[in-house]
Structure 1
Amino acid sequence: MRNILLALTSLIFLNGYSQKKRSTTVGKISIKELKMVSYEKDTTANAVVLYEHANYYIDENKDYKKTTDFYFKVKILKNEGVDKATVKIPFYGEEVVHSIKGITYNISKSNKIIKNHLINSQVYTKDLYGKWKEIIFTLPNIKKGSVIEYTYSVTSPYSKIDDWNFQSDIPKVKSDFTAAILGNWKYNIRVVGFQKLNKNNASVKKGCVYIPGLGDGACLILDYGMDDISAFKEEDYMLSKENFMSKLSFELESFQNPKGGIDRYTKTWKDADKSLKHDFLDNQTSKKGFFKKHLPPNLISIKNDLERAKKMYTFIQNHFTWNEKYWPSKKVRIKEAFDNKTGNIFDINLSLYNSLKAVNIESYLVLSSTRNKEIPTKLYPVIDDFNYLLVKAIINNKTYFLDATNKQLSFGLVRSESLNGDGRVMDFKKGSYWETIKLNRKTYKSIKAQLSLNKDNGLQGSLMVSTDGFFAVNDRENLNTQSLETYIENFESEHPNLEVESLDHQNLNNKENILHQIYTITSDNLNFDTKLRLNPFLIERFTKNPFKLNEREYPVDYGYPRSYTYMLSLKLPEGYIAQSLPEKRHLSLPNKGGNFIVNFKYLNNTISVYSKVNLNKRIYTSEEYHYLKEFYNQIIKSQDVFIEIEKASN
């Protein structure tokens, strides 16, 4: 999915160059493009990029700042594609967006090209957040069949080169990126995604620029391109699309200044460890003395290590309220956060780390990132890749990953959103390392229904829903944030054929045990004359397949394994018999990925149903996708069945 494309090497001590002539200009439109009604390689597309190009260079006319010229030509194929005519250009701080031009092309009945130009009054600037702003404009006279063409430039004083996204949510015929980068700037360049480059050229050009007082200099000339780029289609159970969309990604490694010194921007992990501990964390990892004074004495005196760790975890978990912030914008101050009883992810889990250290539990900090962010690269340390902090505890030679930011998490679980690739364990003595974040609680749901059919053609009985792991976390959050009446109403709206008479629960506040919800239910909505057709899967039936793509290049990432068990015991009254029981099924996924079993029995006038779905893996590869897709199809088919119940003839 990722690989190092190249690393730029030092060439000469200069800070300017020019290849502005390589930028694409507007005015290249054809009758054929205007008459185009569909894109043959993706007939579902609402629009298609006919050509796009970005050209990066240092502009001598802009005080030798970095300028990127952008060019886009897009065909609108369907009415749903007209939103592509609205362009949003984010920019930061001292960056300047300029030279905006845009034209909409339509064709008349006499095959003449009609042009409508973007005017300056149609261009707006919007404040976003912090130093970020956004330029917005919409090309005029847009309709199905239009071709739009627009250019703009961004001039920046910063050394960062923005990613170039070859792939987007619509297909592209051709996409190019060119650059002339001065040799004393060294970048790590990665190509991300599954589609291959059609152009991958790099060469050194001597004398590419002349700077008064410095003379001629050499540049590294880059020329990358992709053709026939498919649209990226999102689907359920995936990490951030930034992990998989084909693009070029630039990370500044170092700058060799004219005096001969080297300024390094990409650090080694040894440097990053030191920076994180002393600069960012500001010695917040050595506060165990403070916590030892502020922790309840009865917790410190517990002799059993695991019990002491669990009690300490629960104390920190209940003491803090998460303020819904992740990576702090300021230096962490855990004493202040502890006194205020509120904090961000780092405040809370740093407090947990120090508390565990204070009671002699071997603990380490673990850097992670949320699933809406790109997976942190392992090629070199990029601190901005991380926005989450966990704690690793080792107790009796067993590893536990902990997260005290959610009051419903049991010991050995972390927020599911933090499960984004491996975590970086910060061992400040021996050096940090990567480790897979493994969970100590299984996630499952078990439903046990014991019902009887009465002679008034209604169902009545009990329903016990048992959950553990993340399913229990979700249920506890809902039960603790909703009134019982609202919770029951939501259940009945999801299962309109059932009416809840009462609801009790066990272990609602005991997170170390399985959560049980016990319903007393009835159903009077049965249409029964002489024969009843009843689907035995009254709740938690699989009705939709989350996987619909013909091909999925990126993996299926559930975050954690899971299982679902369903058991039904339906007692029939005297004078009633069951006919036509569905067939039993047993399916297995390859590579021990999971299995599905369903069985039906009829004995002593009681219908019994047993069904279980096991998804044993957190991640399924793209090669396993079709098996998983068909697995769901078969489950849906096996649960879309009926049992026929008849009144026995006299």
Structure 2
Amino acid sequence: MKHIYLITLLITALSFSQTSFNSDSFTVSRNDISTHTFNTDSTANALIIYEQGNSFFDKGNYALKTEIRRKIKILNRNGFEWATAKIYLFNDGKRKEKVSQIFATTYNIENGEVIKSELKSDDIFEEIYNEKYTIVKFTLPNIQEGSVLTYSYVLESPFVYKYYPWEFQDEIPKIYSEYNTSIPGNYEYNIKLVGDQKLDKEESTVVKNCLSGPRNSAADCANTTYIMTNIPAFIAEDFMTTKKNYLSRIEYELKVFKGFDGTVNNITKTWKDADKELKTDANIGRQIGKSTSQKAEVANMLTDPKNTLSVAKDIYKYVQDTYVWNGEYKIFNDVSVKNLIKSKSGKVSEINILLHNLLEEHDISVKPILLSTRDNGLPTQLFPVISEFNYMIVQASIDGKTYLLDATDPYLNFGELPFRCLNQYGRLLDFKLGSEWIPIGTNIFSGIQYQVDLKIENDSVTGKVKAKHMGYDALNKRKAFFRNKSTYKDHIADLQSDYKISHHEVQDTERNAKGFSETYRIEKSTDNTGNDMVYINPFIFRIFENNPFKLQQRTYPIDFGYKKSYLYSIQIDLGDTYELIEKPEEILAKLPNNSGQLIINTSLNEQKLMLFFRLNFNESLYSPDYYNILKAYVDKVLDVQSNSLVVLKKI
């Protein structure tokens, strides 16, 4: 057997030594304009040469002000979109953020001269984004390939509980990013640095009496400078959660406010405080445990009332089949289980609270879990930020086992969660003993098992395919099949364009079955070259159509959401007509730390060629250190799928 051992490659830091750009200041140099390449990242369409933010409290009205200056280089036409700036202004219906002092200039070199084009006030527009935000946007004039853009503005916000966050990383590279903050001593914030990029400088000093209050009172300020340089672009790719989980940035959450009169207001609560508030919250605590008025109706449809697990499954299926999710994630607004029962349609929280209450009414131990979906970002674990949660599921404890349940999807099997929920962890609410963080995920492998039997005779290949889908692969298959069976069969035929498909059968008749199994027959003419040689690619089914990993460097995890396993076996009956000339090479490829493997075995026994293929990803989440090795791993699978041949010759 040929062994291929894949070893982890060390990812070296990129060098951003770009002496042509003036990244020391907001001033535009001639070299900034005349330089048209960025050797560090040849794929970049634009880059930020320099940016600076300064946040402080206004001495007059105590509003939070932020001055922003940014210098951008346009490298090619694909970077023109960066000539449009968008400023999002928050409002709560009573107060709103403001922007002023917008100045913007485009710099070009024409006929050897530096030409400046100024933004006109008439080219600044404001539009409604949603009920909470308006957008002020402008596009700089006279944009060309090679242009340098500068713009600056001042933000004013009355919402001091949310100190202005600063994003060091963006979708284009940055050479220099600086953020200066001035925070009075009577404002205490939780400060969180997110992302894998490291600060080059973090320096603080204390300024005495920076903010004055009534009756000659004053506060000292902590003035801090954060600098990050040579920041690579963040490029989104497959197998990741929302990019805000990984973009390097600094965020603030007001913890304590101390008034000049000596009053102290604890803004950020402990989880003990948060639990008390959730317990009495009209949308959460007061809905949980309410009588459903459905107990008698549910009791009549129980198949085995003495079996707790059977009762739980019956109740789960009842909620799945009776109530329809309206697509809303809202868990803290207008939650009413009563309205759900009446209308048969409702929010995530309403459906799962009803599930919780019905299970509890039948003496099953249940607790609600708050979580944040994959596209909503990871919730902060350092302190409670309830607004970061947007979803609710149920934990049921039955006969020593725990099950995570969500009844919003009628195709889910008992104990499965929608893929959107697989976001590492959630907060288990226990109003008696206190809440706690728990992992949210699955240890069950998802994947496909193919068993193919082929026979070659009379210049044709015929055979039978058995396919068994597991986990999330099965969930996707069930949805596709039960929503439109004829379209599903056409799709199967399209996937196997070389083969004619017939006698398709599905063994699972329930839309929320645990798996999905199907069989069908295939037929095609042999690829005969005319010299009695026949070539067959044994890989009728492909695991990958292309390599999803295309970046030179990935700085954030590879998050599949679940473990993956693919098994493919094929038996080719050569009969008495053909002899084997060549078969695929045998392979054993392993990922470090037993985190994955690729195996191909072949054997010939009594004119029957057997090929066994296994591909495993034993982890649902891989660190960025695995990126290059995973890319090579998938490349090998693609090569095997495309270039493995069985060569036969007529006897």
**Normalized against structure 1, the TM-score is what?**
0.91
Give, in angstroms, the shift of residue 175 of structure 1.
0.6
1:125-165 deviations in whole A, cap 9, x for unaligned? 12111131111211111111100001122211111223210
Q: Is the 8 A contact 1:579 1:643 kept in 2?
A: no
Give, in angstroms, the shift of residue 44 of structure 1.
2.4
Match of 1:109 among 92, 108, 111: 111
In structure 2, give the amino acid aligned to 1:383: I
Summarize the Cα distance change of 1:479–1:568 in structure 2 as closer, same or farther, 3 Å threshold.
same
Summarize the Cα distance change of 1:132–1:611 in structure 2 as closer, same or farther, 3 Å threshold.
same
Distance in 1 between residues matched to 2:363 and 2:446, nearest whole Å: 30
Match of 1:332 among 335, 348, 352: 335
Identify the residue that residue 48 of structure 2 maps to in structure 1: 49
Identify the residue that residue 78 of structure 2 maps to in structure 1: 80
- Paired residue secondary structure (2:416): coil
1:322-377 deviations in whole A, cap 9, x for unaligned? 11111236231112112211111111111111111011111111111111122112
Identify the residue that residue 34 of structure 1 maps to in structure 2: 33
Q: Is residue 295 of structure 1 aligned with residue 293 of structure 2?
A: no
In structure 2, give the amino acid aligned to 1:582: P
Summarize the Cα distance change of 1:246–1:123 in structure 2 as closer, same or farther, 3 Å threshold.
same
Match of 1:385 among 364, 385, 388: 388
Distance in 2 between residues matched to 1:522 and 1:219, nearest whole Å: 78
Distance in 1 between residues matched to 2:354 and 2:50, nearest whole Å: 53
Q: Is residue 179 of structure 1 aligned with residue 172 of structure 2?
A: no
Summarize the Cα distance change of 1:410–1:182 in structure 2 as closer, same or farther, 3 Å threshold.
same
- Paired residue secondary structure (1:412): coil
Distance in 1 between residues matched to 2:253 and 2:498, nearest whole Å: 57
Identify the residue that residue 397 of structure 1 maps to in structure 2: 400
Aligned 1:182-261 pairs, distance under 5 A:
182-210=184-212, 214=216, 216-261=218-263
Q: Is the 8 A contact 1:26 1:149 kept in 2?
A: no
Aligned 1:180-579 pairs, distance under 5 A:
180-210=182-212, 214=216, 216-279=218-281, 280-288=283-291, 290-299=293-302, 302-328=305-331, 330-439=333-442, 441-455=444-458, 457-482=459-484, 484-509=485-510, 511-524=512-525, 526=527, 528-529=529-530, 530-579=532-581
Distance in 1 between residues matched to 2:291 and 2:515, nearest whole Å: 33
- Paired residue secondary structure (2:550): coil
In structure 1, give the amino acid aligned to 2:74: I
Q: Is the 8 A contact 2:206 2:221 kept in 1?
A: yes
Q: Is the 8 A contact 2:502 2:522 kept in 1?
A: yes
In structure 1, give the amino acid aligned to 2:263: G
Aligned residues: 622
Give, in angstroms, the shift of residue 505 of structure 1.
0.4
Identity of aligned residues (%): 33
In structure 1, give the amino acid aligned to 2:593: N
In structure 2, give the amino acid aligned to 1:499: K
Give, in angstroms, the shift of residue 472 of structure 1.
0.9
Give, in angstroms, the shift of residue 113 of structure 1.
0.8
Summarize the Cα distance change of 1:25–1:67 in structure 2 as closer, same or farther, 3 Å threshold.
farther
Q: Is the 8 A contact 1:45 1:77 kept in 2?
A: yes
1:254-290 deviations in whole A, cap 9, x for unaligned? 2112332222221111111111221141511112453
Is 35-44 or 463-472 further displaced after alignment? 35-44
Distance in 1 between residues matched to 2:295 and 2:543, nearest whole Å: 50
Identify the residue that residue 90 of structure 1 maps to in structure 2: 88
Q: Is the 8 A contact 1:537 1:639 kept in 2?
A: yes
Summarize the Cα distance change of 1:520–1:162 in structure 2 as closer, same or farther, 3 Å threshold.
farther
Distance in 2 between residues matched to 1:433 and 1:206, nearest whole Å: 41
Identify the residue that residue 632 of structure 1 maps to in structure 2: 634
Identify the residue that residue 601 of structure 2 maps to in structure 1: 599
- Paired residue secondary structure (1:99): strand
Distance in 1 between residues matched to 2:177 and 2:398, nearest whole Å: 53
- Paired residue secondary structure (2:28): coil
Structure 2, unaligned runs of 5 or more: 1-22
Identify the residue that residue 65 of structure 1 maps to in structure 2: 63
1:2-35 deviations in whole A, cap 9, x for unaligned? xxxxxxxxxxxxxxxxxxxxxx999721111111
Give, in angstroms, the shift of residue 98 of structure 1.
1.9
Give, in angstroms, the shift of residue 565 of structure 1.
0.8
Give, in angstroms, the shift of residue 644 of structure 1.
4.0
Distance in 1 between residues matched to 2:303 and 2:587, nearest whole Å: 54
- Paired residue secondary structure (1:39): coil
Q: Is the 8 A contact 2:475 2:515 kept in 1?
A: no
Q: Is the 8 A contact 1:291 1:354 kept in 2?
A: no
1:400-455 deviations in whole A, cap 9, x for unaligned? 11111111111111011111121211111100111112437542211112222231
Give, in angstroms, the shift of residue 645 of structure 1.
3.7
Distance in 1 between residues matched to 2:200 and 2:644, nearest whole Å: 55
Give, in angstroms, the shift of residue 625 of structure 1.
3.0
- Paired residue secondary structure (1:290): coil
1:104-138 deviations in whole A, cap 9, x for unaligned? 0001222x210111112212112111131111211
Summarize the Cα distance change of 1:229–1:46 in structure 2 as closer, same or farther, 3 Å threshold.
same
Summarize the Cα distance change of 1:210–1:479 in structure 2 as closer, same or farther, 3 Å threshold.
same
Distance in 2 between residues matched to 1:275 and 1:304, nearest whole Å: 36
Identify the residue that residue 145 of structure 2 maps to in structure 1: 144
Q: Is the 8 A contact 2:54 2:179 kept in 1?
A: yes
In structure 1, give the amino acid aligned to 2:308: D
Distance in 2 between residues matched to 1:154 and 1:534, nearest whole Å: 66
- Paired residue secondary structure (2:82): helix
- Paired residue secondary structure (2:315): helix
Give, in angstroms, the shift of residue 240 of structure 1.
1.9
Q: Is the 8 A contact 2:457 2:577 kept in 1?
A: no
Q: Is the 8 A contact 2:578 2:650 kept in 1?
A: yes
In structure 2, give the amino acid aligned to 1:68: T
Q: Which has the higher contact order (CA 8 A, sep 6+)?
A: 2
Distance in 2 between residues matched to 1:512 and 1:557, nearest whole Å: 26
Distance in 2 between residues matched to 1:135 and 1:25, nearest whole Å: 28
Q: Is the 8 A contact 2:176 2:229 kept in 1?
A: yes
1:283-306 deviations in whole A, cap 9, x for unaligned? 111124534244243429710111
Distance in 2 between residues matched to 1:315 and 1:38, nearest whole Å: 62
